Amino acid sequence: MGGNSLAHFRKSLVHWTKGHALEIDVLDEGEKVFAFNVTRCRYAEMYRELGIPQLGPILSCSRDFALIEGFSPRIRLTRTQTLMGGAPFCDFSLPCRALSRHSIGCCKTPLPHAADGMTLRCVIAPNFSSCR
């Protein structure tokens, strides 16, 4: 994708909408926020056709938050409704925020010699003030 800005994410939607897998209406393409509604989701249609609509939110919708978190620490996903949950559309809002001068991120990492087999690894990342 060439980067992790809102602009890069917007460009990546061409892959998600290929073959009309998702149909979207863009609401805001600002420098600090990207907002859109998903008005058709072929994934939701597939789960319904398979007779397992209850798995759609678990297998598809829930991963959206992790995807955004991994894409950029500056972007947060806000969504209040989904097609799979019975709403008329999914509402995605992706605000971009500047991080503090240094942000600290911690995660559990496997470490064979730690008592519980895990250790907490923290990293300090430089500030990303631009959301472009």
Give residue-wise pLDDT tens across range 53-108: 999 999 999 999 999 999 999 999 999 999 999 999 999 999 998 765 544 444 44
Distance CA 83, CA 51 (A): 16
* Mean pLDDT of the region 1-11: 87
* Mean pLDDT of the region 35-62: 95
Confidence bin at 2 (pLDDT 50/70/90): confident
* Mean pLDDT of the region 21-44: 95
pLDDT, tens digit, for every residue of 21-30? 999 999 999 9
Q: What is the 3-state secondary structure (H, E, C) of 5-45?
A: CHHHHHHHHHHHCHHHCEEEEEEEECCCEEEEEEEEEHHHH
Beta strands in 56-117 (DSSP E): 90-95, 102-110
* Mean pLDDT of the region 12-34: 93
Phi-psi region of 101 (alpha: psi -120 to 50; beta: other; left: phi over 0): alpha
* Domain coordinates in residue numbering, the chain: 6-95, 99-132
Closest by Cα among 88, 87, 86, 66 to 77: 66
How many residues can be counted in the chain?
132
pLDDT given for residue 132 in this prediction: 53
pLDDT given for residue 113 in this prediction: 46
Distance CA 95, CA 34 (A): 6
Distance CA 112, CA 106 (A): 18
**What pTM did the predictor assign?**
0.73
Confidence bin at 31 (pLDDT 50/70/90): confident
Instruction: Among 12-16, 24-28, 30-34, 113-117, name the most confident range.
Output: 24-28
